[in-house]
Structure 1
Amino acid sequence: MTDEEGGRVDGVEGIRDGDIDVDAVRESLVSWYEDDHRSFPWRETDDPYEILVSEVMSQQTQLDRVVDAWHDFLDRWPTAESLAAADRSDVVAFWSDHSLGYNNRAKYLHEAARQVIEEHGGDFPRTPGELSELMGVGPYTANAVASFAFNEGDAVVDTNVKRVLYRAFDVPDDDATFEEVAQALLLDGESRVWNNAIMELGGVACGKTPRCDEAGCPWRQWCHAYETGDFTAPDVPTQPEFEGSRRQMRGRVVSTLKEYDELPLDDLGPRVRVDYAPDGSYGREWLSGLLSDLADDGLVEVDDREGETTARLRR
């Protein structure tokens, strides 16, 4: 991302200093999420017990595999009270039968339910600090339950979120800085929708192999990785193939238009590809196709004036 003189503005400093329109960043992500997102049953409830079960099951297990197990578990033990009263060996057997990973998680979940009943009178703690006192509930899980059940959490920072922040805002691979930036972006009092949205972004658009344009990533106009083509991340040590791709070219269009109010096609083209030739394979028709894609995504505007086509970033 660039400043008014064309120099690069570091994403972290931009957020800290107000050089990045954080409100626009927030609104674009929440709108993207609310328009369309993956449907999981635990996203349709604010019951802290049901959400805790989903969070424990989801540790190192693909979400699609968790759905059936989650339904089966709640059919058998629909409340914290029923789980607390269950024989622990039955809970462990269920865990093993459904291939949900380490059996200790089943033991901890059973013990956490017992704590809720015996120590909290059946009422779940509401804050991350209180929830983390439950057996087997670490800081991440405590914060997730506080967010998704009570809307009282902090910014969730998991592997997906780190990948998004590292790529989008060039955040260094440092846990304290990830926490700082994630918290600065968090919508005040809206941890439920915000944390769901940013994790969805990491799961759908900004995975290890990015799908920026295919998934309509709402952060492309701010994204350092989209601009530079470097999609490495803490969990992606080798860069996916990108050189020469349409995604790279679209990123170059966005990057170039950040430096200018608008450009005619034949001024824009050479800045995107050095081998641009108006009537060549990489010429006006090719560039118009890129601009059409970006216009469909709401990133650029294209005007035809007196026979000349110009492009600019959408404001």
Structure 2
Amino acid sequence: MSEHLPDDDREAVREALIEWYEADHREFPWRRTDDAYRILVSEVMSQQTQLSRVEEAYADFLERWPEVSDLAATDRGEVVAFWSDHSLGYNNRATYLHEAATQVVEEYGGEFPEEPDELQELMGVGPYTANAVASFAFDNGDAVVDTNVKRVLYRAFGVPDDDSAFERAASALMPDGESRVWNNAIMELGGVACGKNPRCDEEGCPWREWCHAYQTGDFTAPDVPTQPSFEGSRRQFRGRIVRLLGEHDEMDLDTLGHRIRVDYTPDGEHGREWLRGLLSDLAADGLVEVEESDDGDQPLVLLAS
């Protein structure tokens, strides 16, 4: 799948992400339904609109038009006026949503098609939205590839910045027949833990063990084109040191270096001198202690008592 993820680890990566998502995730009302109409409404509303604004509008919309037949039966101008009143962006989305509802009622007998290709026959429903509805309503979609997913795959597994490469990697990683939970989970990962400003440790990212960016401190991505500042990277590694020492009590210098950075080499650019600089900062803050050896053994690093 990628140069950074051996095939033998693929199942472990899948299980780790799904377990992380199912243990705790953001609660949105459209995640609590498998109704295709409600999911389509949420997807159309969420296009380039803040989710906090979408939640309120979503509830109001469904209170007014609770079923697809209700929306199809109303006047298009009412839907456009609602869209404008709730600041949901381009009004043509309201027009398309109304037309799609009319198609479902008149051409499909009020039942949504279940295949992504068929869903694209609905007005205003492109490949991404069709796949999202197929995934979340019918558990019948392909791997979603949005900006968040691209960022995750680029950082974690070194997938090149190429649409076809992202699609191949996303498809290879998604478990068969689990598009609903998988697509929700990987988008949640990109939205919560692997945003433009990553929160790997704070959000307990389940892919830290495999993630290339986490190991190297380079969190650039297609939508994050600038290299993180040097000081930012140092803070990231200092936090990683404290977390590891909290788990292992003490570690010798080189073992610690290899655990926090995959390209650590004792005499290299990111080697002992670099690591001692981080430890010096942490010691000055009263967080760690370095016990030097008199017999030539590696110094021991431990949390300050």
- Per the TM superposition, whether the score is higher than 0.5 is yes
Q: Give how far 1:44 is off.
A: 0.2
1:247 is aligned, of 236, 249, 256, to: 236
2:101 is aligned, of 98, 113, 121, to: 113
2:17 is aligned, of 29, 38, 56, to: 29
Following the alignment from structure 1 to structure 2, what is the Cα–Cα distance between the partners of residues 269 and 165? 26
| Cross-structure match for 2:255 | 268
Task: Mark the runs of 5 or more structure 1 residues left unpaired by the alignment.
Answer: 1-10, 256-262, 290-307
Following the alignment from structure 2 to structure 1, what is the Cα–Cα distance between the partners of residues 141 and 14? 17
* CA displacement, residues 243-284 of structure 1 (integer Å, 9 cap, x when unaligned): 4533234568999xxxxxxx9423335656525289955569
Deviates more, 1:239-248 or 1:228-237: 239-248
1:182 is aligned, of 158, 164, 170, to: 170
Q: How many pairs are equivalent?
A: 274
| Cross-structure match for 1:43 | 31
* Equivalences for residues 82-231 of structure 1 within 5 A: 82-231=70-219
Structure 1 residues 68 and 31 mapped into 2: Cα distance closer, same or farther (>3 Å)? same
Structure 1 residues 77 and 277 mapped into 2: Cα distance closer, same or farther (>3 Å)? closer
Please state whether the residue corresponding to 2:2 is helix, strand or coil: helix
Deviates more, 1:279-288 or 1:106-115: 279-288
| Cross-structure match for 2:67 | 79
> What is the one-letter code of the residue matched to 2:184?
N
> What is the one-letter code of the residue matched to 1:265?
D
Matched-pair contact (CA < 8 Å) for 1:226–1:248: no
- Scaled by the length of structure 2, what TM-score is found? 0.82
2:47 is aligned, of 59, 72, 90, to: 59
Following the alignment from structure 2 to structure 1, what is the Cα–Cα distance between the partners of residues 163 and 133? 21
* CA displacement, residues 100-134 of structure 1 (integer Å, 9 cap, x when unaligned): 01000000000000000000001100010010110
Matched-pair contact (CA < 8 Å) for 2:279–2:288: no
Structure 1 residues 164 and 242 mapped into 2: Cα distance closer, same or farther (>3 Å)? farther
Matched-pair contact (CA < 8 Å) for 2:4–2:210: no
Task: Mark the runs of 5 or more structure 2 residues left unpaired by the alignment.
Answer: 245-249, 258-265, 291-298
Structure 1 residues 253 and 145 mapped into 2: Cα distance closer, same or farther (>3 Å)? same
Matched-pair contact (CA < 8 Å) for 1:54–1:70: yes
- Scaled by the length of structure 1, what TM-score is found? 0.79
Query: RMSD in angstroms over aligned alpha carbons?
Result: 2.8
Following the alignment from structure 2 to structure 1, what is the Cα–Cα distance between the partners of residues 213 and 22? 24
Matched-pair contact (CA < 8 Å) for 1:81–1:122: yes
Q: Give how far 1:237 is off.
A: 1.1
